[in-house]
Amino acid sequence: MKIKNVDLFTPLVIVIVILFYLLLATIGIQYHMRNLKPVASITYLYIFYGIFIFLAGFLAAKLFEKFFLKKRNASAGFKTFFDYIENSRYFKEKFVLIFVILPLIIQLINLFFLGGIPLFSGVLKARAFNILTILSYVFFLITINVLIAKFYKKRYFLIVFIGVILFAATGYRATTIAIIVSVLITAFYTNEHKFKHFLIITPLVIVLGLLVGYIAALSIEWQHWHVNPLSLVFIRAGFTLTVLNKIIQIQNTGHGLITRSILSGFFHLNDPRLVLGQFVFKHPVSYTSTIFGPAILDFGYIGLTIQMFFLGMMLELLHYLQKIKKGTYTAFYSMGLAHTIIWVETSPTDLTVWIYFLIAVVLVLNASISMNKNSK
């Protein structure tokens, strides 16, 4: 098998990320870093059960592709709303470029009015979680991936670099890593599986993730860390696993609390991880709880089953569509996979990403109907 035929970013990469994260957490706990306590065996059982259900969703999507899609897509001539957007007279490189630069300008203005760099202040970091940051991030993430997927040029990576700097300045690792990882995936598929971007950007993701996380942790005025950046990785992973362990002990007691706090983002800014901290630990501190935590807290193993099956199925269907159609479809898949990778630690509590998956359902249904019409 030629190396260029290897698909690095199938949905199965989520399983690898989960297992790797579990390894980091186990090391942190095993060596009692920062007094981390061991977790119960049932916690590991729930993790492997979640992986199994994710794989079941992945295989269900494969069956759907085999019996309902593959026989009808030979010409790839079917159309979805993405195709109508791409065929619009406004969908030109210069227009997309304008919408890439605009959110960067907004974020620059946002940082100016914050009066400092949130990365170096816990107080400013809390204030940076505002509507301007959210909107500028969402629009930049979408437009930069579309720009690279449809109008690929090496010079556009300079814009990616500027975006990474501006959003890293907020002190939030997730947004920074999501930009880098999604662009990496988009570039990988746009350049026919060339590995040079992977080899260059992967070390950048690791170093930048370590740096932003370490500086942000040291800059929080009410916390005191005396560890090196590498130890902090094991400590954070281990602590997040202990949070999941605690949630499993009180599973199905949230009765939709975290789900409601996610949906409340339609009406006001709210951090569901803060709600989780208040409910589980009785003090309002934001806690990450892995990709499994919120579903287990709200609805027990049933919620976990539905969530992981849905993610496995939708990611594979989107992966399949992007292989056929490329372009905007590749950008869309890249953003979804990147955020799901990040969710392995942070947990699925981002309203904008759930809206993304809602659009993904519509896209898959639209593609299925269009394929049927095209085959007839």
The proportion of the chain whose per-residue pLDDT surpasses 90, expressed as a percent, equals 59
| pLDDT tens sequence across 291-334 | 999 999 999 999 999 999 999 999 999 999 999 989 999 999 99
pLDDT (0 to 100) of residue 222: 46
pLDDT (0 to 100) of residue 228: 72
pLDDT (0 to 100) of residue 78: 74
**Tokens representing 250?**
């009180």
pLDDT (0 to 100) of residue 286: 85
* Segment of 113-117, 140-144, 154-158, 363-367 carrying the highest mean pLDDT: 140-144
pLDDT (0 to 100) of residue 122: 74
User: Which bin fits 300, alpha (ψ -120 to 50), beta or left (φ > 0)?
Assistant: left
| pLDDT tens sequence across 1-34 | 455 667 889 999 999 999 999 999 999 999 988 8
| pLDDT tens sequence across 203-259 | 666 666 666 655 655 555 445 555 677 788 899 999 999 999 999 999 999 999 999
**Tokens representing 114?**
């914050």
pLDDT (0 to 100) of residue 331: 95
Average pLDDT in the chain: 87
**With 90 as the cut, is the pLDDT of residue 128 above it?**
no
186 Cβ contact partners less than 8 Å away, ≥ 6 residues apart: 145, 148, 149, 330, 331, 334
CA dist., res. 260 & res. 272, Å (int): 9
Can you tell me which residue has the tokens 């959210």? Answer: 134
Give the mean pLDDT of 261-285: 86
**Tokens representing 141?**
């993430």
Helix (H) / strand (E) containing 205: helix 196-219
**With 90 as the cut, is the pLDDT of residue 119 above it?**
no
